[in-house]
Amino acid sequence: MKYVHLIWANIRRKKVRTLLTVGSFAVALFLFGLLATIQTAFNQGVEVAGVDRLVVRNNVSLIMPLPYSYKERLLQIPGVRDVTFASWFGGYYQDPKNFFPQLASEKETWLKIYPEYKVPPKEWADFLADREGCIIGRTTAEKYGFKVGDRVPIVASIFGGVWEFNVCGIYDGTRTEDDTTQFWFRSDYLEERRTWGKGQVGWYVVRVDNPDDAPAVAEAIDNRFSNSSWETKSETEKAFAAGFVKQVGNIQLLIMVIGSVVFFTLLLVTGNTMALSIRERTGELAVMKTLGFSDRSILWFVLAESQAYAVIGGALGLAGVKLFTLGGDPTGGFLPLFYLAPSRMLLGLMLAMAVGALSGLLPALTARRLRIVEALRRI
Amino acid sequence: MKPGSTARERRKMVKVDGRDEGKSLIRVRGLDKTYRRGGQVIHVLQGLNLDVSEGEFVAFMGPSGSGKTTLLNLLGGLDLPSSGSITVAGDEISRLSGPRLSRWRARHVGFIFQMYNLMPVLTAYQNVELPLLLTRLTRAQRRRHVETALDLVGLSERRRHYPRQLSGGQEQRVAIARALVADPTFLLCDEPTGDLDRRSADEVMDLLWTLSREYGKTVLMVTHDPRAAERAGVVLHLEKGALVESGAP
């Protein structure tokens, strides 16, 4: 601790250079944090997927439906404990940019399959009693100011017309990563009002007795409906979510490439700054060695200085992303879970420190090897 | 560092013939230093002998390139001899290297340079405190030492000033305080008045003289300035890589 003022004094020596170096770290870490947030948002479904849930969809495409009659047949397959279903409604509130996912779900089984979502019992009872009722996730409710008792008009892009719903309740997730942007309404209301596609559902969600048996149960389901007019494709919820992400492209690779380029550039910029800084202070370092500071302590001083740039800049950049993400999803519903996880912040800080250490290493070794007599001669 | 008359009463001795068998503080025997430059071997010091007892104030003089600064660097453990030995207070420093030599310098040597060599980003107080950071002293103890050293050089009022806010003479006095603060065994001064005007130079020499006479501090000084050399107890000339005594001025 007694050396902190020495490091701080050197950091303040060239204020503009310090500002630019810290700024480089801050911008790089801001970008890293943003990319990590986007990646988390894309992978949210994969992260929170239930290990005991299978998604059963039409083998042709997710947008193709399945018959309602499959529900009972699915329940007869060994290993299946519960079955529910949902249909994509694809509407919007007032303006197309006010998008959030609306699902017509089966009221009797929905929460059995998704126990991670919590709705107050009274509100759920009201939902069961109201054919036009809906339950809205906390994030969407807060974003649009929906309250219990409100009547919400939704423009139905797929089914046509404006459908009105009574807000019966607000649901929350039990985990931070749970998606609380959804809007649930009753599948029997959809069935009643839709003018086409009656007797069909979007997809089934099956809960299995034993997660270890999930692949075998999925295979049994697909075999059960093979060679029918409505063949199925069953997969674990995790695989389903991962496949959904892949449709957008290889986000992981994209983020890795951008992140690597940014950090490599940062390494060059900071390395150059540190080298310049040490070259300018050759005489001072020689004097410190003359006074009795060992080669090793000089090495640590230089490394500590580059670490200070990294930590200050990194912390500023990550704090900036954190503030940015507090505003929520900037895409209008495409990335519902838009937040910077603490683990990603820690990773970002560690990456910044690694870059700081690498960029300071060469100048630190130069300073360590500095010969006092030669350096003093140059003053 | 205790002021008093003991330094004056001690038997003083500076010899360059290598025959002294007494317990001198600094003993140099057969010191050689050679450099290679473009395939040519340059003998800077050749078989140099020196004995300096505690409390002496010795000035080294000689033309440029005669090896004065080289000798000072060797005595201060900043450079290693090509051959020969240097023993200070019983430690043969020519055998030390790396961290042990650094620790030895921190403990035994106070350096004063021609260009002061203060850290421009540190205040006078922080500059003087620098050598104490290598000790186990507490912050409060360090503060006491620094205040004492700054008092001694008459710059207590300037403790918060940065080097750029001080005159050359004041900077050199801060450098002297830095050299003294850890109470080293001896002071090495390389042209301490070389960059100062006459008045500041006299102030610095008064200070060094006081340190030697009143506080019994051993001072070895390289200088070109005959007036500065006059203040030393003994003046030695470097000629052909060896020391020649010219007696007390």
The complex's ipTM? 0.89
Chain A residue whose CA is closest to B107: A292
Task: Please tell me if residue B216 touches chain A, with a CB cutoff of 8 Å.
Answer: no
For the segment A345-374, the average pLDDT, to the nearest whole number, is: 92
The reported pLDDT for the residue numbered A49 is 67
Q: Determine, for residues B102 and A293 on separate chains, whether the beta-carbon distance falls below 8 Å.
A: yes
Q: Determine, for residues A294 and B113 on separate chains, whether the beta-carbon distance falls below 8 Å.
A: no
The reported pLDDT for the residue numbered B119 is 94
The reported pLDDT for the residue numbered B9 is 45
Task: Please tell me if residue B41 touches chain A, with a CB cutoff of 8 Å.
Answer: no
The reported pLDDT for the residue numbered B122 is 95
Q: Are A204 and A83 in contact (CB under 8 A)?
A: yes
CA distance A29 to chain B (A): 29
Mean pLDDT of chain B: 88
CB atoms within 10 A of CB B138: 10
Where does the pLDDT of residue A332 fall: very low under 50, low under 70, confident under 90, or very high at 90 and above?
low
Task: Please tell me if residue A5 touches chain B, with a CB cutoff of 8 Å.
Answer: yes
Name every chain B residue with its beta carbon within 8 A of the beta carbon of A295. 98-99, 102
Q: Which of B79, B120, B130 sits opposite A291 (nearest CB)?
A: B130
Please provide the DSSP assignment of chain B as one string: ---SSHHHHSPP-EESSS---S--SEEEEEEEEEEEETTEEEEEEEEEEEEE-TT-EEEEE--TTSSHHHHHHHHTTSS--SEEEEEETTEEGGG--HHHHHHHHHHHEEEE-TT----TTS-HHHHHHGGGGGS---HHHHHHHHHHHHHHTT-GGGTT--GGGS-HHHHHHHHHHHHHTT--SEEEEESTTTTS-HHHHHHHHHHHHHHHHTT--EEEEE-S-HHHHHTSSEEEEEETTEEEE----
pLDDT in tens, B175-227: 999 999 999 999 999 999 988 899 999 999 999 999 999 889 999 999 999 98
Where does the pLDDT of residue A375 fall: very low under 50, low under 70, confident under 90, or very high at 90 and above?
confident
Please provide the DSSP assignment of A94-144 as one string: SSTTSB--EEEE-TTTHHHH-TTEE--HHHHHHHHH-TTEEEEEHHHHHHH
Q: Determine, for residues B117 and A373 on separate chains, whether the beta-carbon distance falls below 8 Å.
A: no
Residue by residue, pLDDT tens for chain B (249 residues) are 444 444 444 445 888 777 776 678 999 999 999 988 888 888 899 989 999 999 999 999 998 888 999 999 999 999 999 999 999 988 899 888 888 999 999 999 999 999 899 999 999 999 999 999 999 999 999 999 999 999 999 999 999 999 999 999 999 999 999 999 999 999 999 999 988 899 999 999 999 999 999 889 999 999 999 989 998 989 999 987 888 876 554
Give pTM, 2 decimals.
0.72
> How many contacts (CB atoms, under 8 Å) link A and B?
63
Look at residue A270 and tell me whether its pLDDT is greater than 80.
Answer: yes
Task: Please tell me if residue A293 touches chain B, with a CB cutoff of 8 Å.
Answer: yes
Q: Which of A292, A296, A376 sits opposite B105 (nearest CB)?
A: A292
For the segment A359-366, the average pLDDT, to the nearest whole number, is: 92
Task: Please tell me if residue B98 touches chain A, with a CB cutoff of 8 Å.
Answer: yes
Q: Determine, for residues A292 and B131 on separate chains, whether the beta-carbon distance falls below 8 Å.
A: yes
The reported pLDDT for the residue numbered A193 is 92
pLDDT in tens, A49-105: 667 899 999 999 888 999 999 999 999 999 999 999 999 999 999 998 888 999 999
